[in-house]
Chain A
């Protein structure tokens, strides 16, 4: 009975599905540290690192779309092209397996992107869609306008930039530059040598480690900034806000910056110093908390 229902459903759905999508399944040999670039403007791209010397592309192409997949072992290029009409109307979903050591570059427009298990560099950008990276990539550059960005366990130089979506960085290390306009910016776990966090109206929350000589810079127009540090954390702090409030659990209270303005400033050294933390906001509150 179940089987009959499945067949009936498949028959009913079949013609529309066949007209709209074309399955794709292609492989090419690839070097262990190949550069793989992928372009799919609409739909989704899921990249997974594996221990095989080839790149394997699976998925479905939207109506009228064609897959271009070529290049030498060191430099492979995967591109979804529209035969005719508006390429933004063609929605294709790709699943791509690449050698673990590959460097991957992905470009979308209205596409959701995820990358996992790649140890080379990763760069991805889209306008309307989320980007997720997981695994020990060395160097990550992710940009989305209207979508979330998630980075987990990356190292090296990490750049993550969203506009309307949240940016979350978990258990990463190295140098971090993260920004968002309206979304929340959360950095949790891991340890950094340098971190620069910026928001316009979204809140910023940092509860990660800093190396002894690290620098952390946070800037927000109207978002609240929450920083969490161990009680014994050694750093020089410089905090200023034009009209926000400052709460400090690691040292002295903030003072008014000017007789005439509502702004507050705070400069102090916690522990034996070493790291450097600077925070600037216009109207966003700044909270320095003990972990």
Chain B
């Protein structure tokens, strides 16, 4: 088992969901790999922390009506093809890599542009609603850093990848980013809700998984 294979099964391992054979493979790898032991330790720590949070905190006033109005307004913006406010804020702080993917011999009309955000994790996160829990916030920074490293790797490969594939990847990342924004909005209402915090981390993980897969396959060229 490689470190990557272990990483893909780590969630199942800490949740006790692996079958006996898979569990034995994970156990054997962990016994011999200090790096993966550290990954396991950090994931267990994060999950234990999330589980220890209270399910609900009583806010000083009912914030939900205002949040609901904002969410609805942002959804209608999104469906209408516009940019959500957080996306506009993010756009102001990130360097948007406009890369012309030129294919030899093509006419200018065939030039395609692909936007790859290349912000620092801190800049991206600063543009979004804040997460108050320090452990979850630290995990977010880790995931954002990983996502950025992968985006940079993808950027280096994009001249060799079909533009429509890059456009599809970007569209999927935007879906995940919208979901992250939605979870964060919910966390404004209920900052210590363990399920929301876990969902936030899981959605970050999904983004990193998508990027990792694209980069791994593209570097196999």
Are B56 and A261 neighbours in the complex by a CB distance under 8 Å? Answer: yes
B150, chain A: closest CB distance, angstroms: 13
B168 partner, pick from A145, A221, A257, A261, beta carbons under 8 A:
A145
B202 in contact (CB, < 8 A): yes
- Check A72 for interface membership: any CB of B closer than 8 A: no
Q: Please tell me if B217 contacts chain A, counting CB pairs below 8 Å.
A: yes
- Do A222 and B179 touch across chains, with their CB atoms under 8 A apart? yes
Given contacts A128-B165, A196-B17, A240-B195, A260 and B183 within 8 Å (CB-CB)? no
B213 interfacial by beta-carbon distance below 8 Å = yes
Which A residues are in CB contact (< 8 Å) with B190?
242, 258, 261, 263
A88 beta carbon closer than 8 Å to chain B: yes
Cβ contacts A197-237/B at 8 Å (1 or 0 each): 01011000000000000000001011000000000000000
- Which chain B positions have C-beta within 8 A of A93? none
One of A127, A145, A219 near B199 (C-beta < 8 A): A219
Asked if A283 lies at the interface with its beta carbon under 8 angstroms from chain B, I say: yes
| Residue of A89, A198, A261, A282 with highest tally of chain B CB at under 10 A | A261
Q: A145-B172, A145-B210, A146-B169 are in contact. Are A201 and B162 (CB under 8 A)?
A: no
> What are the residues of chain B within 8 A of A109 when measuring CB–CB?
161, 165, 217-218, 220-221
Contact yes or no, B217 A125, CB < 8 A? yes
Chain B 171-200, CB within 8 Å of chain A: the 1/0 string? 110011011001100100110010110010
* In the complex, residue of chain A having the shortest beta-carbon distance to the beta carbon of B22: A157
A200 CB contact (under 8 Å) in B58, B59, B176:
B176
Please tell me if the beta carbons of B196 and A157 are within 8 angstroms of each other in the complex. no
Assembled-state Cα–Cα distance A219/B17 (Å): 16
Q: Does B206 contact A (CB under 8 A)?
A: yes
- Cα A157 to Cα B8 in complex, Å, equals 14
* Bound-complex Cα distance A19 to B111 (A): 26
Check A201–B189 contact: CB distance below 8 A: no
Nearest-neighbour CB distance to chain B for A156, whole angstroms, equals 9
Residues in A whose Cβ lies below 8 Å from that of B53: none
Cβ–Cβ contact A146 & B172, under 8 A: yes
**Contact among B59, B62, B203 with A221 in the assembled complex (CB-CB below 8 Å):** B203
Q: Is B77 part of the binding interface, using a Cβ–Cβ cutoff of 8 Å?
A: no
Contact A182 B165 (CB under 8 A): no
Q: How many A-B residue pairs have CB under 8 A?
A: 126
CB distance from A256 to the nearest CB of B (A): 11
The interface residues of chain A lying within 8 Å CB-to-CB of B59 are: 260
A283 to B218, CA, bound (A): 35
Scan residues 43-99 of chain B and give those whose CB is less than 8 A from a CB of chain A. 55-56, 58-59, 62-64, 68, 71
For A179, what are the chain B residues with a Cβ–Cβ distance below 8 Å? 206
B152 within 8 A of A: no
Contacts of B136 in A (CB 8 A): none
Please tell me if the beta carbons of A260 and B56 are within 8 angstroms of each other in the complex. yes
B56, B168, B196, B203: the one within 8 Å of A258 (CB): B56
* Chain A residues whose CB sits within 8 angstroms of the CB of B19 once the complex forms: 157, 175
The CA-CA distance from A194 to B19 in the complex, in Å, is 10
A232-279 residues with Cβ-Cβ distance < 8 A to B are: 240, 242-243, 257-263
Q: Does A29 contact B (CB under 8 A)?
A: no
Asked if A280 and B206 sit within 8 Å, CB to CB, the answer is no
**By the criterion CB–CB under 8 Å, are A181 and B58 in contact?**
no
Q: Is the CB of B182 within 8 A of A282?
A: yes
Q: Jot down 23 A-B pairs with beta carbons below 8 A, ordered by A.
A: A88-B162, A107-B220, A128-B162, A128-B164, A145-B210, A175-B19, A179-B206, A182-B175, A194-B17, A200-B203, A201-B175, A221-B182, A221-B183, A222-B179, A242-B195, A243-B68, A257-B55, A258-B55, A259-B58, A261-B64, A261-B190, A280-B199, A283-B182
